[in-house]
Amino acid sequence: MNAARRGPELFFNRVIYSLLSVALLISGLASLGWIFDIPMLRSFGTEFFPFAPGGILATFLISGVVLIRALAGPRPMAMLFGKIILLFLIFSLVTITLATLGGVNLDIEQVLYPRQTDEIGGLLIGRIAPLAAVCFLLQTTALLLLYYFEANRRVRSLAASLAMISTAGSSVAMLGYFYKTAVELGEVKIPMSLPISLVLTLLGIAVMTSAGPHCWPFDRLTGSSVRATILRALLPVSTMIPIYGWLNAVVLRDSVNPALSAAFLTILFVGILSTVANRVAETIGGKIDSAQTARRQSEEKFRVIFDSSPNALITVDSFQGSISLVNSQVENVFGYKPEELLGMQMEVLVPERFQKIHQQDRRNYMKAPSARPMGAGRHLVGRHKNGKEIPLEIALTPIRDQSRAVILVTVTDISTRTRLERERDEALKAREELIGVVSHEIRNPLSVIATGFEIIRRVLPPTYESREKVEKQFDHINAAVQTMTRITADLLDVTRIEAGLLRIEPRSTNIVLLIEDILMQFKARAEAKKIRLESHLSPEAKSINCDRDRIVQVLANLLGNAIKFTTEGGLIVLEVQSGKESIHFQVKDNGIGIPPEEAEHVFERFWQAKHKQYVGSGLGLYIARNIIRAHGGEIGVRSKPGEGSTFYFDLPLATREKTAA
């Protein structure tokens, strides 16, 4: 709980303890009066009604419940104990009230004290008066509501209202004793004793306080509003009126001239009103000073933040288009000192050829102002003081400055970024040209070498005695040429990926034919290691929109790796499943598997498995991931060492032509 809320609650708890201490003191004295037969203690005077034993017990129980609530809080056992006491009290008070008012006498009070023989006005002097029973009932109901609906602010306010009604009823009876306006005891029909009226008043205020400082009526007294200030000022001085009435009716009686009494009462009211007016004036004046100070601080803070912005900030009157405020960064962007721009039209920062269009755009913007970038999708330029045009990014934010509508313009000079982007584009273009040259210069000699050796093989006489050895060398050379060709192609693909130039050209592709072709390519390699190569296709997986050559490249890499890392006699399965929005491909083998610490790196560039007998370029899976992502899909792996690996990827059913970034 924060300190702002904790402070009032601690104060309210102290108030509760003080009120309950006085109430328990009065009840304790009355109990002694009953035990030792001392009328002064049980009735505060022989001419008053005594404090009924039932009322004493009710006071002890209600005080105990309030103390439990204040000290123990929401502990389950404490709450259960409090609820049991309250329900017992409600039953007892209702039966006592019915016995007195309705003639249904259940003799419930005989449980609390012996039957009394003394009667006044037909009532036992030890029985709780009906008005007192009703007040106790209201307080008990209020406490029960607080126990059951602690978190509900409205219910807590209702509980405080019930306690306030109880307090009002007991206060009226108490004031009757003070003003000596009560009827003689022999004529009283439904009396309330002085001590019980005092105790009920104290308990009522304690129950109201127990509801907390943040519900009615205390929320009207707390806080810094003018209403709360007036109520707090009236609360202490309003007690002077009943005191004056008591002095005039009881103490002074007829010894004071009525005119003098009226004059004194007038002076009293004037004093009260003056006190309240003074308190209100001090509060309002303090609020005005605080508001002005807060506003100055807020303006200073805004100015510091405004000037500290790395971007140029300009506020413009939305209707006149005049500049009302700029920060220091404006000089760095446009070359104008801040004081030079104040009051000038915004168009001074716009190239001449765009000034009329800018005025119209500003008027259109104010018809439906919103925070947004200016000129989305357009190349924006501003005008420097020296006349030079500057590439800019501009964001607009409508704000209210008192009664005026202004636009906050955030300007970013992107000259450096534009230059770097241009240089980057030129470098990428040059690199792509170099890639083309290198590709041509490397692939052509490799092609010549492969073609030359094939011609030599064909013209070699069948009877040549070393033909078998020569053909083995031809095979090694051809394999080396193919490896160099593949590495060259991979390097070119990596370069395109890094440059954002890897393009895919999707078209409708027959999945069945695609799988047949790729399996045919790897059939001989699988048979050489005695590996079974199988395919499982879902009947629904018939066609897909993809770049066929690139998907063949991905599957070739996955199948090639599976054959490489699967021992002789193993099994590789290529599966294709159809989903609602995508086609799922997976290549599953029962080879050596991949350790968990390596599996998360297999799609990284130049990563290779830690097996000396299996060496590669470390580019195949990196390229495969980018190809699949360019299609809008994702690729992954599941593997356990010694059990094999499953590489899988998903291709969306609809793929558009695009470039992989």
Reduce the DSSP state of residue 410 to 3 states and report it: strand
pLDDT band at 647 (very low <50, low <70, confident <90, very high): very high
The 10s digit of each residue's pLDDT in 396-405 is 888 875 566 7
**Of the listed ranges 120-124, 390-394, 622-626, the one predicted with least confidence:** 120-124
The 10s digit of each residue's pLDDT in 528-539 is 899 999 999 998
Is 247's pLDDT higher than 80? no
Mean pLDDT of all residues in 391-396: 88
User: What fold, for 503-660?
Assistant: Heat Shock Protein 90 (3.30.565)
Tell how strand 532-537 and strand 571-578 pair up. parallel
Reduce the DSSP state of residue 52 to 3 states and report it: coil
Is 3's pLDDT higher than 60? no
Is 481's pLDDT higher than 70? yes
Q: Which residue carries 């890094």 as its tokens?
A: 498
- DSSP for 439-498, please give it: HHHHHHHHHHHHHHHHHHHHHS-TT-TTHHHHHHHHHHHHHHHHHHHHHHHHHHHHHHHH
- DSSP for 295-314, please give it: HHHHHHHHHHHHHH-SSEEE
pLDDT band at 190 (very low <50, low <70, confident <90, very high): very low
Selected residue with higher pLDDT from 32 and 435: 32
pLDDT at 515: 92
**One-letter amino acid for residue 389 of the chain:** E
Report in angstroms the alpha-carbon separations of 655 from 321, 378, 579, 583, 629: 48, 28, 15, 12, 11
Same fold: 418-499 with 503-660: no
Is 587's pLDDT higher than 90? yes
pLDDT at 653: 82
Half-sphere exposure of 192 (CA within 13 A, CB side): 23
pLDDT at 26: 77
Selected residue with higher pLDDT from 254 and 180: 180
pTM for the model stands at 0.39
Selected residue with higher pLDDT from 379 and 585: 585
Residue 73 burial (CB < 10 Å; 0-12/13-18/19+)?
A: exposed
Show Cβ contacts of residue 29 under 8 Å, excluding neighbours closer than 6 positions: 41, 42
Residues 557/549, Cβ–Cβ less than 8 Å: no
User: What are the boundaries of each domain within the chain?
Assistant: 3-215, 225-301, 309-413, 418-499, 503-660
Selected residue with higher pLDDT from 13 and 117: 13
Mean pLDDT of all residues in 279-300: 72
CATH number of 418-499: 1.10.287
pLDDT band at 5 (very low <50, low <70, confident <90, very high): very low
pLDDT band at 281 (very low <50, low <70, confident <90, very high): low
Mean pLDDT of all residues in 411-417: 87
Mean pLDDT of all residues in 584-611: 83
pLDDT band at 585 (very low <50, low <70, confident <90, very high): very high
pLDDT at 191: 61
pLDDT band at 514 (very low <50, low <70, confident <90, very high): very high
Q: In this structure, how many other beta carbons lie within 10 angstroms of the beta carbon of residue 51?
A: 30
pLDDT at 47: 55
| Nearest Cα residue to 350 out of 264, 411, 268 | 411
The 10s digit of each residue's pLDDT in 294-349 is 778 877 887 788 888 888 898 888 777 788 888 888 888 899 988 888 888 888 88
Selected residue with higher pLDDT from 623 and 400: 623
In this structure, what is the dihedral angle of CA atoms 138, 142, 147, 149, given to the nearest 10 degrees?
130
The 10s digit of each residue's pLDDT in 207-230 is 887 777 666 666 666 666 666 666
Percent of the chain clearing pLDDT 90 (strictly above): 10
Strongest mean pLDDT among 105-119, 161-175, 427-441, 445-459: 161-175
pLDDT at 131: 75
Show Cβ contacts of residue 587 under 8 Å, excluding neighbours closer than 6 positions: 555, 558, 559, 562, 572, 573, 574, 646, 647, 648
Strongest mean pLDDT among 113-122, 328-337, 418-427: 328-337
Top-level class of domain 309-413? alpha beta
**One-letter amino acid for residue 530 of the chain:** K
Mean pLDDT of all residues in 417-438: 76
Mean pLDDT of all residues in 118-128: 50
pLDDT band at 513 (very low <50, low <70, confident <90, very high): very high
Query: Which helix or strand (DSSP H or E) is residue 322 part of?
Result: none
Selected residue with higher pLDDT from 238 and 550: 550
Mean pLDDT of all residues in 16-33: 77
Selected residue with higher pLDDT from 320 and 411: 411
Residues 543/655, Cβ–Cβ less than 8 Å: no
The strand pairing partners of 312, in sequence order, are 411
Is 98's pLDDT higher than 70? no
Ramachandran region, residue 121 (left: φ > 0; alpha: ψ -120 to 50; beta: rest): left
pLDDT at 96: 66
Strongest mean pLDDT among 88-92, 393-397, 530-534: 530-534
- DSSP for 498-523, please give it: HHT-EEE--EEEEHHHHHHHHHHHHH
Mean pLDDT of all residues in 243-266: 54
Reply yes or no: is the peptide bond before residue 462 cis, omega within 30 of 0.
no
pLDDT band at 463 (very low <50, low <70, confident <90, very high): low
In b/e form, how buried is each residue of 124-157, taking b as 16+ CB within 10 angstroms?
Answer: bbbbbbbbbbbbbbbbbbbbbbbbeeeeeeebbb
pLDDT at 113: 45
- DSSP for 341-384, please give it: HTTSBGGGGS-GGGHHHHHHHHHHHHHS--SEETTTTS-EEEE-
99: phi then psi, degrees, rounded to nearest 5: -65, -35
pLDDT at 530: 92
Average pLDDT, the chain: 75
Strongest mean pLDDT among 2-11, 258-267, 275-284, 608-617: 275-284
